[in-house]
Amino acid sequence: MKSTLKISLKPNEKIYLNGAVIRVDRKVTLEVLNDVQFLLEGHVLQPEDASTPLRQLYFMIQIMLMNPTGAAEARALFRQSLPRMLETFKDPEIRTGLIEVERMVGADRVYEALKAVRALYRLEEKVLAADSAVYPEPRALAVGE
């Protein structure tokens, strides 16, 4: 027997459900009785926040879930980007996570793929911090230097 999924929403909170945007006017609990693709408003990444490679990957996957008409384009971009990320990232945990994300997207388990990418953010922050320590941003010269 398939279990149901209960989602609690606060007043004026949005949920993206199979491509539809739903906003509730009061606190509600939705009980979903079948398979559904959804994304809570708090997990929606804005374009300007897609500032790292993994956040950009998340954004591509998010489009697959939120915008069914743009899903094919986002999926194609995902397929182009993922191999480059696998070449770039040397961290074995990130690489393993990316391979799992690729498998999930291929199996159309988009919501799970988003969760998996979010779980990699902490590792990416460490990698990027280490890279910036090795290759620091050039500083501006002060007058008289």
Q: Which residues of 27-65 are buried (b: 16+ CB within 10 A; e: fewer)?
A: eeebeeeeeebbbeeeeebeeeebeebbebbbbbbbbbb
pLDDT of the residue at 122:
94
Nearest to residue 58, comparing CAs of 15, 70, 49?
49
17-71 confidence digits (pLDDT tens): 877 888 999 999 988 888 777 888 888 888 899 999 999 999 999 999 888 888 8
129-139 pLDDT, tens per residue?
A: 887 654 445 55
Instruction: With a cut of 90, say whether residue 128 has pLDDT above it.
Output: no
Average pLDDT value for the chain: 86
Calpha distance 17→36 (Å, rounded):
7
- C-alpha to C-alpha distance for 30 and 21, rounded to whole angstroms: 14
